[in-house]
């Protein structure tokens, strides 16, 4: 029988090898067509007496990325379409759709023939659930092999048997940790947990899998055998009593109840382990159907999977511009940022010239890469050969002539217009006319800096976030004269270093910093009002932010906040900065010498390790303190989320960001805006523009003009629009393609 996505070959021993290899796809994923074909293969293996068992593997470097989440997006779209006509029927349709993959895997494991999964490369989500349904599991002994059930990271959970099989194979504590965090497993870790049976040399992977069948592998799962006992003992036991109350408390501490899918995982496991396996699958299907209807799932799937993938593939790249193959890149400035840029460039295999005012400074910048790659070697994430190769790609220099032949130069010198002007002129003097020049400025408008260039069409902003090696977002800023070639080259570069690009138009603070400054500013207001500092930090975390605003200010430096405020006053006048906030920051820096983490004292005190940082007790003496019981924590949470979302809306209104995907993904990747919302604009869409405007007006009346909704939002509220309707990114793509 011929299949489009699989080949099935039976050897002389009667063992069928089903090789999954989707045409025109770089990675195998589950689609409706793949599930149809797998169903037929199961029937073929089960009905053919000559076939003793089957091995399933991949014909690609990776096993599979799991379910195609765009399929889930389509399922949700159909659900909402049907729901408008008949709610109960829509829910039944969603329930049936949710159970399709689970039913298929159950069919495989009860087919009467032994199945073995031979895992090469990445095996994620539904693909790992398929493997868990197989009677035997073998993984290749390779750094490229990783296994995970990461669905919780995009607002859903493993709904094809994962919540039932994992805790029946692994110890319950490890199972819960893996499921609720989306933890990635190496072959060694997966074997230690009992989730795979063997680890084989890559060249002998299929051979080892077939040997399991030859050696009499039972075509029955442990939970289907009489007398099966759970690895950690029954739920209602002394062990269960020691596990479940802390597990619930830990989840609450980690998620603050913001992630319905994580809570559903605990319910699925707890309830599922109390009943027979098939009933457990039914429970899982019920919860999966419930979670699929949540706002969190819809928004997270859209932003953290669909939009993120589209942006990573270059959704905003101008068409018709040839791709740039980078032969050599220059970095001006070997300080912390420049050294980080050099590191990620070399890590991508691109030769990089790291230039500073003298060789000692340039060498110091290269030493930063040595430190970073050495840490990776120590952790087993890189080899000594990887280290040697990376360092060989970085050439430190103090001579601008070394930039000759660079395709792209990234300027990361001190934030001073005159210093940047000199660096631009010296670099352009030796660059070829087609080379692109980029500035890593975080505060100075690109259009102004481009005036220093003899070729402003080739001048662009590439704004990295600190630390460069860990932050996944890069803002690409267009000056008024920036051309398509510069934009295409910048996007090609950001993709080459495996980061996510967003494109923004020129303005003070660009996009991300405008939002971050609002977040910090609101915390200063709260301090001035007398809200206790611990409540400010905890409320922000409860709202879903990974770092409290006071801790974030410390990380970026309080004296930097002071410089930004003073510069803003110089440029825009006294009214541009709240005088009370200026007074607070001046008091911290000038009176108390508290500059942030860099000098060991800011809003927090930073004692020597291993002691942890603690909020500075002196904060409570700066302003009269409100009694904690008089502070509305829900209101604090709203203030943080709403002030950021309003700034994102203003940025869209001003045309600084034009694609809602970039506003959402950018807000999550750059400063961790409550991921469960799907991003700053999806937060508004999820509430609804009308309800959001009402919320903002209430906060404005009580706390000030910073909560005033822009005209764009008022118009959207009147028309019942969402950002993804008003600024439909796919309509733009269609228009562009038609043109």
Q: Is residue 521 a contact partner of residue 706, using CB atoms and an 8 Å limit?
A: yes
Within this chain, do residues 194 and 231 fall inside the same structural domain, yes or no? yes
Tens digits of residue pLDDT in 478-507: 999 999 999 999 999 999 999 999 999 988
Pairing between β-strand 15-20 and β-strand 53-58 as defined by DSSP bridges:
parallel
13 and 210 Cβ atoms separated by less than 8 Å? yes
Q: Which residue has the tokens 């050599």?
A: 328
Please count the other Cβ atoms lying within 10 Å of the Cβ belonging to residue 382.
19
pLDDT top residue among 84 and 734: 84
Q: Do 337 and 431 belong to one domain?
A: yes
We report the CATH number of the domain holding residue 51 as: 3.90.226.10
Residue 285 within a domain: yes
User: How far is Cα 340 from Cα 727, in angstroms, rounded to an integer?
Assistant: 35
Neighbours of 392 (CB within 10 A): 10
In this prediction, residue 739 has a pLDDT band, given cuts at 50, 70 and 90, of very low
Percent of the chain with pLDDT over 90: 86
Whose tokens are 């194979």? That residue is 169
CB atoms within 10 A of CB 61: 11
Domain that holds residue 596: 513-726
Whether 230 maps to a domain, the answer reads yes
pLDDT tens, residue by residue, 186-212: 999 999 999 999 999 999 999 999 999
pLDDT, averaged across the chain: 93
Mean pLDDT of 518-538: 96
Of 520, 608, 515, nearest to 558 by C-alpha is: 520
Domain identity same for 581 and 561? yes
Q: Are residues 500 and 533 in the same domain?
A: no
Average pLDDT value for residue range 691-710: 96
Alpha-carbon distance 39 to 67, whole Å?
A: 16
Clarify whether residues 466 and 353 are in a common domain. yes
Sign of CA dihedral 45, 46, 48, 54: positive
Whether residue 556 lies inside any domain: the answer is yes
Quick one: 506 and 524 in the same domain? Answer: no
- Beta carbons within 8 Å of 98's beta carbon, 6+ residues apart: 159, 285, 288, 289, 292
341 with 223, same domain: the answer is no
Q: Could you please report the per-residue DSSP string of 20-43?
A: E--TT-SS--B-HHHHHHHHHHHH
State residue 738's pLDDT score: 45
The domain that holds 563 is classified in CATH as 1.10.1040.50
**pLDDT at residue 737 above 60?**
no
Among 293, 317, 339, residue at a domain's last position: 293
Is residue 715 over pLDDT 70? yes
Q: Kindly state whether residue 107 falls inside one of the protein's structural domains.
A: yes
Asked whether residue 556 falls in the same domain as residue 491, the answer is no
From residue 411, give the alpha-carbon distance in Å to each of 111, 422, 430, 436. 62, 11, 15, 11
At residue 342, does pLDDT exceed 80? yes
What the block records as the tokens of 194 is 């009992």
* Three-state SS sequence of 492-528: HHHHHCCCEEEEEECCCCCCHHHHHHHHHHHHHHHHH
Q: Distance (Å, rounded) from C-alpha 226 to C-alpha 374? A: 52
- Tens of pLDDT, residues 545-601: 999 999 999 998 899 899 889 888 888 888 889 999 999 999 999 999 999 998 899
Q: Would the pTM count as exceeding 0.85?
A: yes
Buried b (16+ CB within 10 A) or exposed e, 174-184: bbbebbbbbee
Q: How many domains does the chain have?
A: 3
Tens-place pLDDT, residues 111-157: 999 999 999 999 999 999 999 999 999 999 998 999 999 999 999 99
Q: How many CB atoms lie within 10 A of CB 87?
A: 11
Mean pLDDT of 265-273: 97
Rounded CA separation 491/488 (Å): 5
One domain, residues 424 and 526: no
Q: Does the pLDDT of residue 642 top 50, yes or no?
A: yes
Domain assignment of residue 452, yes or no: yes
Residues 641 and 559 in one domain: yes
CATH code of residue 386: 3.40.50.720
Using the 8-state DSSP alphabet, how is residue 710 labeled? P
User: Is the pLDDT confidence value at 732 over 70?
Assistant: no
Which residue, 494, 510, 526, sits at the end of a domain?
A: 510
Last residue of a domain, which of 458, 484, 510? Answer: 510
Quick one: 542 and 650 in the same domain? yes
Distances from the Cα of 183 to the Cαs of 152, 254, 470, in angstroms? 10, 14, 18
> What angle separates helix 549-556 from helix 558-572, to the nearest 10 degrees?
90
Clarify whether residues 355 and 411 are in a common domain: yes
Residues listed for the chain: 739
Q: Say how far apart CA 273 and CA 223 lie, in whole Å.
A: 11
Average of per-residue pLDDT across 288-296: 94
> From CA 248, how far away is CA 269, in angstroms rounded?
12
In three-state secondary structure terms, 608 is coil
In a domain, 108, yes or no: yes
Note whether residue 372 is domain-resident: yes
Does the pLDDT at position 416 exceed 80? Answer: no
Residue 298 resides in a domain: no
């Amino acid at each position: 029988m011929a299949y489009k996505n699989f080949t099935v070959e039976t050897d002389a021993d009667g063992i069928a090898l089903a090789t999954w290899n989707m045409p025109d796809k770089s990675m195998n994923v589950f689609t409706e067509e793949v599930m149809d074909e797998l169903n037929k293969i199961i029937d073929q293996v089960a009905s053919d007496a000559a076939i003793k068992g089957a091995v399933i593997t991949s014909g690609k470097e990776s096993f599979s990325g799991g379910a195609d989440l765009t399929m889930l997006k389509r399922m949700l779209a159909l659900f909402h379409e049907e729901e408008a006509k008949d709610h109960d029927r829509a829910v039944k349709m969603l329930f049936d759709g949710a159970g399709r993959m689970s039913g298929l895997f159950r069919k495989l494991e009860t087919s009467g023939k032994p199945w073995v999964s031979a895992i090469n490369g990445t095996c994620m989500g539904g693909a790992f659930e398929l493997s868990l349904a197989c009677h035997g599991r073998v993984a290749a002994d390779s750094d490229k092999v990783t296994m995970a059930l990461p669905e919780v990271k995009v607002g859903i959970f493993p709904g094809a048997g994962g919540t039932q099989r994992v805790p029946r194979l692994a110890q319950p504590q490890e199972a819960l940790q893996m499921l609720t965090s989306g933890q990635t497993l190496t072959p060694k870790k997966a074997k230690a947990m009992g989730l795979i049976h063997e680890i084989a040399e890559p060249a002998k992977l299929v051979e080892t899998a077939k040997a399991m069948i030859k050696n009499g592998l039972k075509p029955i799962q442990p939970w289907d055998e009489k007398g099966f006992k759970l690895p950690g003992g029954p739920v209602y036991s002394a062990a269960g009593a020691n596990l479940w109350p802390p597990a619930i408390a830990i989840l609450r501490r980690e998620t603050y109840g913001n992630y319905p899918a994580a809570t559903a995982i605990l319910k699925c496991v707890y309830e599922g382990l109390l009943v027979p396996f098939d009933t457990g699958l039914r429970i899982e299907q019920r919860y999966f159907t419930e979670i699929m209807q949540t706002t969190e799932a819809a928004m997270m799937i859209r932003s953290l999977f669909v939009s993120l993938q589209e942006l990573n593939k270059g959704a905003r790249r101008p068409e018709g511009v040839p791709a740039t193959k980078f032969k050599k890149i220059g970095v001006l400035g070997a300080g912390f940022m420049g050294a980080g840029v050099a590191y990620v460039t070399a890590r991508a295999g691109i030769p990089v010239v790291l230039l500073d005012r003298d060789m000692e400074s340039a060498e110091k910048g290269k030493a930063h890469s040595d430190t970073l790659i050495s840490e990776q070697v120590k952790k087993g994430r890189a080899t000594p050969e990887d280290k040697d190769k990376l360092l060989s790609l970085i050439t430190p220099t103090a001579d601008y002539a070394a930039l000759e032949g660079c395709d792209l130069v990234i300027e990361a010198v001190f934030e001073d217009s005159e210093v940047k002007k000199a660096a631009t002129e010296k670099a352009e003097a030796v660059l070829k006319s087609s080379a692109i020049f980029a500035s890593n400025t975080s505060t100075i408008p690109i259009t102004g800096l481009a005036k220093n260039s003899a070729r402003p069409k080739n001048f662009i902003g590439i704004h990295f976030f600190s630390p460069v090696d860990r932050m996944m977002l890069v803002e690409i800023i267009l000056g008024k004269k920036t051309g398509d070639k510069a934009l295409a080259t910048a996007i090609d570069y950001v993709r080459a270093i495996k980061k996510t690009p967003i494109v923004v138009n020129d303005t003070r603070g660009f996009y991300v910093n405008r939002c971050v400054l609002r977040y910090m500013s609101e915390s200063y207001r709260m301090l001035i009002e007398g809200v206790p500092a611990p409540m400010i930090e905890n409320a922000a975390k409860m709202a879903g932010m990974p770092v409290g605003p006071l801790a974030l200010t410390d990380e970026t430096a309080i004296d930097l906040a002071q410089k930004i405020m003073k510069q803003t006053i110089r440029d825009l006048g006294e009214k541009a900065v709240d005088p009370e906030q200026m007074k607070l920051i001046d008091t911290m820096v000038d009176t108390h010498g508290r500059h942030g983490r860099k000098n060991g004292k800011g809003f927090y005190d930073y004692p020597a390790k291993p002691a942890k940082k603690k909020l500075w007790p002196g904060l409570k003496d700066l302003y009269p303190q409100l009694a904690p019981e008089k502070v509305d924590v829900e209101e604090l949470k709203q203030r943080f989320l709403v002030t950021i979302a309003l700034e994102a809306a203003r940025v869209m209104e001003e045309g600084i960001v034009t694609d809602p995907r970039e506003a959402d993904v950018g807000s999550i990747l750059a400063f961790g805006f409550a991921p469960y919302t799907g991003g700053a604009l999806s937060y508004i869409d999820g509430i609804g523009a009308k309800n959001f405007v009402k919320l903002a007006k209430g906060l404005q009346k009580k706390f000030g003009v910073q909560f005033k909704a822009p005209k764009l939002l008022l118009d959207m509220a009147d028309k019942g629009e969402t950002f993804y309707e008003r600024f439909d990114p796919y309509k733009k793509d269609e228009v562009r393609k038609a043109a």
